[in-house]
Amino acid sequence: MTRSLTLLGATGSIGASTLDLVRRNRGEWQVEALTANGSAAELAALAIEFDAKLAVVGDEACLPELRAALAGSGVTAAGGRQALVEAAQHPVDMTVAAIVGCAGLAPVMAAVERGGTIALANKEALVSAGEVLMEAVAKHGATLLPTDSEHNAIFQCLQGNRIADVAKITLTASGGPLRTWTQAELDAATPAEAVAHPNWSMGAKISVDSATMMNKGLEYIEAYHLFPVGLEKLGIVVHPQSVIHSMVEFHDRSTLAQLGPSDMRVPIASCLAWPQRMETPLAPLDLAAIGQLTFEAPNEVLFPATRLAREAIAAGGSAPAILNAANEVAVAAFLAGQIRFTRIAALVEETLARSNDAPRPASLDEVLEVDRSARRQALSLLENNALV
């Protein structure tokens, strides 16, 4: 049976992995819509290749280029933020939400309000707007399928089990490229060193988040909303090999773990085929060749990001959105050479402290206002050199 698909964020890494799987199973999918922020030529080529009905650029200035590239193809071109939302509202069997950042919040909410099935790869939807989003999911009967490797692993481990029987959920973390460094070495870490992840091929921002452990902190917040077991039943363990992607322990002390290659096509395939399975082009896992799997506790003295995330969950309200916004500002400043690596978490913590009276957002617009306010606060701290 052919299923219909909308891919929000077609030209990013998640989009490329999704389309690789669709390309290998063309008879099973009808692509309804593809979107990108501004890569008009690449988006047009993909829309033509996959016979999409609609192609949308978020940056409206790129719309003339998109229209020109699609001339005579039969693919409708559109541009702007509202066009992204309208693309997400199209009735399809599966929406893959892979737009990076807060630009993806409104399209994700539009797909949720349609009551659709969403493979969610946009962190901000749950980190910044988790309470608002999950209320909308319940109200509209939408289905969220987690695409992050860790949350997808948990999702797989929970299949056939009751959430009430869960004793603990453990997110695994690679520890990033700087895991064994000393305080002095971390103080002097360069952007090139921070983005050199040993296991995963990712963009600069998420690679820095992995190095600071903030990526795991953000996933902590996502897991809190996706799997309602309570903060006290969520934990993190450092697992440098990135073979076990997360684990679930039950009350009978059985622990289920999901293992697989360090390739995002594994969790994406899990979502695309759900509730069944599909083949991927990846080599089988060879545990004998891997040799050993090791684990260690996270070091929250050198890498305080997971502590900050846990405190943001406990505080609730606007705190997770503030943490996310301040982190984006801090990582951009580090990559631009404005602050040291170890000041990333410090800037986040100070922004949270300066914004502790922000109200709990009750709508997407209020979430976006909290985000804007937190960015202004973080930029103000940078300009005042308070943390350099």
Tell me: do 80 and 100 sit in the same domain. Answer: yes
Report if residue 220 sits inside a domain: yes
**Which CATH number does the domain housing residue 336 bear?**
1.10.1740.10
pLDDT in tens, 127-161: 999 999 999 999 999 999 999 999 999 999 999 99
Tell me: do 83 and 135 sit in the same domain. Answer: yes
Report if residue 265 sits inside a domain: no
Return the residue matching tokens 């999950």.
134
Report if residue 47 sits inside a domain: yes
Instruction: With beta carbons less than 8 A apart as the criterion, state whether 101 and 78 touch.
Output: no
**Which CATH number does the domain housing residue 58 bear?**
3.40.50.720
Report if residue 84 sits inside a domain: yes
Report if residue 182 sits inside a domain: yes
Query: How much is the pLDDT for 201?
Result: 65
For residue 351, what are the domain limits? 316-388
Tell me: do 91 and 172 sit in the same domain. Answer: no
pTM: 0.92
Question: Which of 111, 146, 181 delimits the end of a domain?
Answer: 146
Backbone angles phi, psi at 13, to 5 degrees: -65, -40
Beta strand pairing call for 143-146 and 117-120: parallel
Tell me: do 47 and 135 sit in the same domain. Answer: yes
Beta bridge partners of 181: none
Beta strand pairing call for 244-250 and 234-238: unpaired
Tell me: do 194 and 292 sit in the same domain. Answer: yes
Tell me: do 36 and 156 sit in the same domain. Answer: no
Backbone angles phi, psi at 142, to 5 degrees: -75, 160
Tell me: do 322 and 340 sit in the same domain. Answer: yes
Query: How much is the pLDDT for 375?
Result: 95
Tell me: do 135 and 158 sit in the same domain. Answer: no
pLDDT tens, N- to C-terminus, the chain (388 residues): 899 999 999 999 899 999 999 999 999 999 999 999 999 999 999 999 999 999 999 999 999 999 999 999 999 999 999 999 999 999 999 999 999 888 889 999 999 999 999 999 988 889 999 999 999 999 999 999 999 999 999 999 999 999 999 999 999 999 999 999 999 999 999 999 999 877 766 778 888 999 999 999 999 999 999 999 999 999 999 999 999 999 999 999 999 999 999 899 999 999 999 999 999 999 999 999 999 999 999 999 999 999 999 999 999 999 999 999 999 999 999 999 999 999 999 999 999 999 877 788 999 999 999 999 999 999 999 988 654 4
Report if residue 310 sits inside a domain: no
Backbone angles phi, psi at 248, to 5 degrees: -130, 125
Query: How much is the pLDDT for 205?
Result: 85
Question: Which of 81, 116, 146 delimits the end of a domain?
Answer: 146
Q: What angle do CA 138, 144, 150 make, to 5 degrees?
A: 130
**Number of residues assigned to the chain:** 388
Question: Which of 99, 121, 146 delimits the end of a domain?
Answer: 146
Query: How much is the pLDDT for 385?
Result: 66
Tell me: do 78 and 201 sit in the same domain. Answer: no
- Strands of the sheet containing 255-259, edge to edge, are 234-238, 166-173, 244-250, 255-259
User: Closest Cα to residue 304, out of 213, 177, 375?
Assistant: 213
Report if residue 101 sits inside a domain: yes
Tell me: do 129 and 172 sit in the same domain. Answer: no
Tell me: do 129 and 39 sit in the same domain. Answer: yes
Query: How much is the pLDDT for 196?
Result: 87
Report if residue 381 sits inside a domain: yes
Query: How much is the pLDDT for 358?
Result: 78
Task: Report the distance separating Cα 23 and Cα 141, nearest Å.
Answer: 30
Tell me: do 128 and 156 sit in the same domain. Answer: no
Task: Report the distance separating Cα 388 and Cα 384, nearest Å.
Answer: 9
**What is the count of structural domains for the chain?**
3
